[in-house]
Chain A
Amino acid sequence: MTNSNKTQQREPLFHITKRTDIPLWKSLLIRVGAIVLGLLIIAIICSIMFGINPFAVFATIIEGNFGTERRFWILLQDTALLLVVGLALIPAFKMKFWNLGGNGQVLVGALATVAVMKFLGGELPDGIVWVIMLLASVIAGAIWAVIPAIFKAFFNTNESLFTLMMNYIAEALVLYFVYIWKTGASDTIEPMPMGNLPTIGNPFLLTIIVAAIITVFLAIYLKFSKHGYEISVVGESQNTAKYIGINVKKVVIRTLVLSGAMCGLVGLLLAGAIDHTMSATTAQNMGFTGIMVAWLAKFNPIIMVLSALGIQFLTKGMGRVQKKFGITSDAVSNIMIGLIYFFVIACEFFISYKIHINLKSKNKAKNSDGGNK
């Protein structure tokens, strides 16, 4: 008797098991709970760090997004851009190919666009220039993604570091060409007069429409096409894929061409329709933010609309908070978004695992019960 008592005392306070399946509403509840908790922490930290009323923070976040019609359109436009980058990354992620090179792929897309605008804008009819711009940016993005993919496919080269380095190579190239082609003061290219993409309705709508089309296309591509099926098989197990006759190398390369092409398209939109120029920060770090967008939505293109909107909403809102409360450092939004990420990442644990707390009294009553909560 004393012996069994001793073993009971040594039992840990809690243990965890894997959940086999979890109802959708429960997993959604956990995710929403995590976001709400994260927002609460943000409000508390804001009020401690800057002595601001937390409600004022929330009000400013909303004002930063919906305060004027222009702000609202910019929110939609930037959401659309981020969404396309996130979408571009998911076919690769589904294959467990860690494409961290979104930034570089967007940048070379922008670089190709600016090159075409500079040398052909005004020389040829606008329609033809647009087509060449589209082709150039898409091909440039695809090349930037396919180089790591080829080495991954044939030599199993570490793709996350390869794509990461490609970012910096793209950045250095852009800096070089900005320096050669500079027209403005202090090493910048002034907005291009010729060859800009047409505006539909207002300056923001073109981007939003393109993003909507790509979202629908990718959702269908991944869910209903043979390619999409092959991608998910390769992601689950390369050996299975080989066994059922899928050419893994071909799938990896083909998917990364698609991934890079979509990032290149974002570069086209940024340089050709929004900024009309380029700089080393044209990509706005969307390659990394896009990863979070894709991850938060569990690689589901439709849910990604929400996660992209959420992240842009927070970014814009925190930007407004900084301005309004005179916080000079522009770092606050990174801190806050990082915190939100932590909560959302952590909540995955509670979705895939279950915690059992071992209450001593229950254990005494019956050990085989396992102390279920």
Chain B
Amino acid sequence: MGDYIVHIVTAIGVGIVFLYGCLGEILTEKSGHLNLGIPGIMCMGAAGGCYGVSVYMGTLSNNAEPSWFLLLFISIILAALFACIGGLIYAFLTVSLRCNQNVTGLAITTFGSGFAEYVMSMVKSNEGTEFAIAKLKFKASLPFAGNLGWFGQIFLSHGFLVYFAIVLAILMWFTLKKTRIGLNLCAVGENPATADAAGINVTAYKYVAILVGSAIVGVGGLFYVMDSNNGSWENASTLLAYGWLAIALVIFAVWKPNFAILGSILFGIFYIAPNAIKGIDLATMKIFKIFPYLITVIVLIFTSVFDSKNAQPPAGLGLTYFREDR
């Protein structure tokens, strides 16, 4: 029993990285833009967040206790800002200059992974001690979580960013479904020409959706380094794999933020399954690494074979909008 709970907690930690990536991508796709730069933007966010941690920890005198609020605030803001650099490049190229979204996204991913590696190589010298202290702050949970047995461990033992992601998902679900802004955004993604005719500022909606989406993804990168990966940055390609899975999760969640919460935790379970199953040798463990990808493929096939009206991408996804086109 105890083992399972530990694994579930780990799975939630991994799943929340997917959730951040997935929420950002859902918002972007709702505006009609398939952003394949999400993995790169996640890297940029991670780099920005770590830079923030490093800067803040640098201002402290020796052995001083970092303030929980300031540490999280500074690093989250910087993660979002750095990620927005990537988002802004993407938005400018695809919205204003109407370039091909797939190619632009891949270019952002190349740029973002390089950018992150570079920033991290500067920050890295402090990684050992500073990150080890900072990660405790990121993982700090409610003080009484430990007293509540398995319930406390599964639901209450996480750091702030886990709950932030879930709140964000619910907020996004509500906004998209119930508010005028959300409905307008969906209109832009479904049919920009109609939205334009109805007086919605298509360009502004697209820009804001892409930028906010990127910021969310960026916070996901920070969460990965500080929480789910225990305060260490391995390399960009590990994080890139998370980013790609997050994009796949969007389809699994059929563009619904509320489904994304469950989906991401499920993906987290698949992702850690090879390490969690007992009594298998190293070779079998290696073959089990196929799991999350295979499941994604199966889900992709299922959603396409049994496609229903509710499980469709925004109609304008991937298409560039030019007002004077006929």
**A residues with CB within 8 A of B:** 17-18, 98, 100, 151, 155-158, 160-162, 164-166, 168-169, 172-173, 175-176, 179-180, 288, 291-292, 295, 328-339, 341-342, 345-346, 348-349, 352-353
- Chain B residue numbers with a CB within 8 Å of A166 are 293, 297
**B residues with CB within 8 A of A:** 36, 89, 93, 97-100, 102-104, 106-118, 120-121, 236, 241, 244, 247-248, 251, 282-283, 286-287, 289-290, 293-294, 296-297, 300-301, 304-305, 307, 322, 324-325
* Chain A nearest CB, measured from B312 CB (Å): 11
Q: Are B107 and A345 in contact, with the CB atoms below 8 A?
A: yes
Q: Are B286 and A176 in contact, with the CB atoms below 8 A?
A: yes
DSSP majority for the A interface?
A: helix
Nearest to B37 among chain A residues (CB) is A338
- Chain B residue numbers with a CB within 8 Å of A172 are 286-287, 289-290, 293
Q: Are A337 and B301 in contact, with the CB atoms below 8 A?
A: no
Q: Are B107 and A158 in contact, with the CB atoms below 8 A?
A: no
- Chain B residue numbers with a CB within 8 Å of A338 are 107-108, 110-112, 114-115
Q: With A179-B283, A329-B118, A345-B93 in contact, is A288–B110 under 8 Å at CB?
A: yes
Q: Are A162 and B118 in contact, with the CB atoms below 8 A?
A: no
The 8 Å CB contact of B286, one of A151, A179, A339, A346, is: A179
* Chain A nearest CB, measured from B278 CB (Å): 19
- Chain A residue numbers with a CB within 8 Å of B289 are 172, 175-176
User: CA separation between A162 and B293, bound complex, in Å?
Assistant: 9
Q: Are B97 and A176 in contact, with the CB atoms below 8 A?
A: no
- Chain A residue numbers with a CB within 8 Å of B112 are 338
Nearest to B291 among chain A residues (CB) is A172
Q: With A18-B322, A156-B304 in contact, is A334–B297 under 8 Å at CB?
A: no
DSSP majority for the B interface?
A: helix
Q: With A158-B304, A334-B111, A334-B113 in contact, is A288–B106 under 8 Å at CB?
A: yes
- Chain B residue numbers with a CB within 8 Å of A348 are 97, 99-100
The 8 Å CB contact of A330, one of B99, B117, B300, B324, is: B117
Q: Are B304 and A151 in contact, with the CB atoms below 8 A?
A: yes
Q: Are B98 and A353 in contact, with the CB atoms below 8 A?
A: yes
The 8 Å CB contact of A335, one of B93, B114, B325, is: B114
Nearest to B114 among chain A residues (CB) is A334
- Chain B residue numbers with a CB within 8 Å of A288 are 106, 109-110
Q: Are A339 and B111 in contact, with the CB atoms below 8 A?
A: yes
Q: Are A18 and B99 in contact, with the CB atoms below 8 A?
A: no
